[in-house]
Structure 1
Amino acid sequence: MILNKEQLTQFIKQKSQELSFLDCGISKSGFLEEEAPRLEKWLKEGNQGKMSYLENHFDKRLNPSLLVDGAKSVISFSYNYYPSETQKPDTYKIAKYAYGEDYHIVIREKLEFLIHLIKEKVGDFSYRVFTDSAPVMERAWAKKSGLGWIGKNSLLLSKQKGSFFFLAEIICDLELEYDSPFKTNHCGSCTRCIDACPTQAIISEKVIDSRKCISYLTIELKDEIGEEFKGKMNDWIFGCDICQDVCPWNRFSKTNTEIRFQPSSDLLDFTYKDWEDLEEETFRKIFKYSAIKRAKYTGLKGNINFIKKK
């Protein structure tokens, strides 16, 4: 049976649900006109810090056709990572997204399986899959696909699901039914995320100065953390959830059901001393499949030592 574009669209959305994606929305591929001047201004002001890779492939970030020849559709997905249990309050903290297995691997496997299911219906087609892994403006495409709006902390927000989810995409040359962009901003006059940031990284609505962001300082920055951040890190040693934890919409976050995202009891029970005494062999064992490997053992210990000396 040959599927028309409406049937194929429904098939993709149904299978994405079966694969436990929170949401799936589809937008027509094209140049991101609104985002182009914003991105250029953000880069010119140096807000990317030492993430020089963000300066590369400027055109590709704005035009999916430069990533996939003949691209017609951008299929956006969200995948829940909100945990049922969190770390004890008195310990060094890591971002919730890093509690379980590396999301790049888990989500990519699901997307590749979905591609396999689509090929069974339509045959071969051109595509690429992404999850925080290439020059794709994920939040812009998710908004265009109707998944939510961009909050003042620059993250995608959903009234029903909050923001504790990953974003991912399939860019392909299939013609599909397109969803309407999300047009309403439901942040209103709330400034909780801006007020709560201890390093004042949210410099204006939807604009983040990465050089001040705790996530950048504890993961992306390979140099020593600047002395001006002493006493402001709030015990975060890998990533940061402050602007999400205070967001009123996250009261609607539901516990994720992904077995591979479940944290080990070892991790949840870690005390300050356990983190400070952590040896490289134990680090490799506990975080073998974790996104925390990005910081490397030396980077994580450096973050701990910086906070210890406050």
Structure 2
Amino acid sequence: MSLPDKYASIIKSISKGLGFEFCGIAKAKFLEKEAPLLENWLNKNYHGQMAYMANHFDKRLDPTLLVDGAKTVVSLIYNYYPIEKLPSGPEDLKLAKYAYGRDYHFVIKEKLNAMLSVLQKEIGEIGGRAFVDSAPVMERQWAQRSGIGWLGKNSLLLNRSMGSFFFLAELIIDLEVTPDIPSTKDYCGSCTRCVDACPTDAITEAGVVDGSKCISYFTIELKEELPLSAKGKFENWMFGCDICQDVCPWNRFAKPNREPKFLPHPDLKNMTVKDWEEITAETFGKIFQKSAVKRTKLQGLKRNIDFLKP
């Protein structure tokens, strides 16, 4: 076995031990094919007010600009499909499934740092960085290149064994590792359920989402007043949205996660519509102290809840 093969085996073994469901490896190089697609997406202003998406254009496409001497991008999948049944009735106010438990940035970053540390102990001095949706990394494209899934019509990474209810994370390292075979087959076929189900028509073509029309953008990223043109289209989503994932046939394979930190805060189970409408700073702080929902702040959540009223 060659050293790069051995390193690939070690990396995958460590990732499994840390609870990652899938681990794929790709050679770190400029994303030549993706460059014009990203440029076109930005030129159409599909990023809306997410100005950060237009920043660091070159770094998004070239991992060697993020990590000196980068040779390998390791892509990882971490399941967040809920263990418990979440509010889903027509009257219920809903959060995206990933937002009920502990903020994933911290949970997964801790695991990635542990992974890098174990790698350094087993192999020797390795330079690298861990990324969890926190830097200009085209995570879905790297995951596809590493063979752990393909890009669905809703632009999310899909995996045949578990659908799409998972987080993506990356380790970019300066170690030469044998890459996996990229995913080239589209298993969505002629299915258009996600396109048809999106109430704001955010999916403009297969694999392309106008971010500025997405319910997740409106309820999380947009900091000003919500546009009246979107009134009545949110289907009771007050933070994020799972519609295009809920209707995806591949998510029939989703299995409950094994991460205790992703369990919902106990108080969330008893929240009524009235409780949400009257939520106080004290309650917000208690329930969402370690949650991704903190990103929208109390004021933003209240704005979203008010917007859902008839």
Interval containing the TM-score (normalised by the shorter chain):
over 0.9
Aligned to 2:51: 52
In the superposition, the TM-score normalised over structure 1's length comes to 0.97
User: SS of the residue aligned with 1:163?
Assistant: coil
Q: Please tell me whether the aligned partners of residues 130 and 170 of structure 1 are also in contact (alpha carbons under 8 angstroms).
A: yes
Aligned to 1:307: 308
2: CA distance between counterparts of 1:188 and 1:210? Answer: 23
Aligned to 2:139: 138
After TM superposition, the structure 1 = structure 2 runs for residues 70-109 of structure 1, keeping only pairs within 5 Å, are 70-88=69-87, 89=89, 90-109=91-110
User: SS of the residue aligned with 1:217?
Assistant: helix
Q: Which runs of 5+ in 2 are unaligned?
A: none
2: CA distance between counterparts of 1:179 and 1:137? Answer: 18
Opposite residue 59 of structure 2, the aligned amino acid is: K
2: CA distance between counterparts of 1:299 and 1:6? Answer: 49
How far off its partner does 1:91 sit?
1.5
User: SS of the residue aligned with 2:24?
Assistant: strand
Q: Please tell me whether the aligned partners of residues 32 and 62 of structure 1 are also in contact (alpha carbons under 8 angstroms).
A: yes
Report how many aligned residue pairs link the two structures.
307
How far off its partner does 1:269 sit?
2.7
2: CA distance between counterparts of 1:76 and 1:159? Answer: 16
Aligned to 1:154: 155
Aligned to 1:179: 180
User: SS of the residue aligned with 2:23?
Assistant: strand
Give CA-to-partner distance per residue, 1:182-207, whole Å, 9 cap, x none: 01100001000000001111111111
Aligned to 1:243: 244
User: SS of the residue aligned with 1:77?
Assistant: strand
Q: Please tell me whether the aligned partners of residues 87 and 269 of structure 1 are also in contact (alpha carbons under 8 angstroms).
A: no
Opposite residue 285 of structure 1, the aligned amino acid is: K
Q: CA RMSD in A?
A: 1.0
Aligned to 1:206: 207
Deviates more, 1:77-86 or 1:264-273: 264-273
1: CA distance between counterparts of 2:127 and 2:115? Answer: 14
2: CA distance between counterparts of 1:210 and 1:80? Answer: 24
1:253 aligns with 2:254: yes
How far off its partner does 1:235 sit?
0.5
User: SS of the residue aligned with 1:84?
Assistant: coil
Q: Which runs of 5+ in 1 are unaligned?
A: none
1:69 aligns with 2:107: no
In the superposition, the TM-score normalised over structure 2's length comes to 0.97
Opposite residue 3 of structure 2, the aligned amino acid is: N
Identity among equivalent pairs (%): 57
Deviates more, 1:258-267 or 1:209-218: 258-267
